[in-house]
Amino acid sequence: MTMDRVLFGDNQFFGVNHMSEEKARAQSMRFQDLRAVIEVLDAAYDAGIRTFMCTTHDRVAEICEHFRANAAKYPDYQFYPCMPYAHKYANAVTENGMIEALRMFLPQDGAVAAMLKGGVALANKDIETIMQLLIDAEMKMFHGLRTPVIFMQNVITDLLLGLGMKQTLRIFHDHVRNRYGAEPGYITMNVPLLLDVLDELGIDNPIVCANINKIGFRMCGGIEAYEQAIAQRRFRPVAMSVLASGAISPREAIEYVCAQPRIESIVFGASGRSNIRQTKALIDELTSVPAA
């Protein structure tokens, strides 16, 4: 399975901006109307971007609905879901506690829900069943749409990585492959550490999405370790935050990423049609002529 060179990200739609809260709020206002979101996705589609890499934010369900209803208009469109939208869980845990929050996100009539209700410890700690149910719950909104790659969000990947719950990364991998026939991907801020663990788990040539940018912003382990891993280790890198939230000029930023060998895809988000077109063109230009 090959991935598109350019993937379209969704941070701009949900008020995520690593530079400015004011800018993030302005974006929330602009994109509270679904039409504004679709306009931008259409602009990306017109620029030749066929893949939308998005969190499982509640509002993505509305976007999915649009693409299902207009399937003929986007015959080759696909989604790369990134799960979960963590604040949804974090806020629920703060308000309701862990068990109650878990129950909120699981099917209400399932055996697991019944057990949680009965106060029985988590199904002999059957973490596999619970994870599968949570993945299925997150995937509901994408029914009928193509989702060839499914990512685990960095806050979860890195939490499990730090805790040392390595097998859960494997559970995710197996369920995504078996149930969805999709390729699992991991978003992380800790590439070298994650690669070691995935190796240990026998997960071969994994898709790993991480910040890869010229200034080393949020590249834990250091930019040199990243460059070395990209050059030498067996994995399929997807670069995000290549512009480091605008801290690097676009050409310089894309030049850097395109000069790294074996980066398969670049994900970026933007709100303006010309901005999208220019960034896409820049990636195409710098991809076709690899830097020396």
Chain residues binding other proteins by CB under 8 A are 14-21, 24, 28, 58, 61, 87-88, 90-100, 104-105, 107-108, 121-122, 125, 127, 137, 140-141, 155, 158-159, 161-165, 167-168, 189-190, 193, 215-222, 244-247
* Shortest Cβ 218–other proteins spacing (Å): 6
Preceding peptide of 206 cis, ω within 30°: no
Q: How far is the CB of 12 from other proteins (least distance, A)?
A: 13
Task: For other proteins, give the closer residue by CB, 166 or 177.
Answer: 166
In the complex with other proteins, the residue whose CB is nearer, 12 or 51, is 12
Compare residues 42 and 87 and give the one whose CB is closer to other proteins. Answer: 87
Give the Å distances, CA to CA, from 203 to 152, 173, 234. Answer: 15, 8, 10
Min dist CB 217 to other proteins, Å, is 5
**Minimal distance in Å, beta carbon 279 to other proteins?**
18
CB of 120 to other proteins, least distance (A): 9
* 3-state DSSP assignment of residue 52: strand
Kindly tell me which of 16 and 36 has the beta carbon lying closer to other proteins: 16
Q: Which is nearer to other proteins, 197 or 286 (CB)?
A: 197
Q: Which residues pair with 267 in a beta bridge?
A: 7
Decide: residue 245, CB within 10 A, 0-12 exposed, 13-18 middle, 19+ buried: middle
**Smallest gap, in angstroms, from Cβ of residue 290 to other proteins?**
27
3-state class of 53 per DSSP?
A: strand
Instruction: Give the residue with the Cβ less far from other proteins, 48 or 192.
Output: 192
Residue 211 pairs with which residues in a beta bridge? 240
Report residue 23 as tokens.
């800018």
Which CB, 222 or 290, lies closer to other proteins? 222
Specify the 3-state DSSP secondary structure of 186. Answer: strand
d(CA 10, CA 268): 8
DSSP secondary-structure letter at 142?
Answer: G
Distance CA 56, CA 58 (A): 6
The pair phi, psi for residue 50, each rounded to 5°, is: -105, -10
Q: Closest distance between other proteins and the C-beta of residue 37, in Å?
A: 16
**Where is 268: in which H helix or E strand?**
strand 265-268
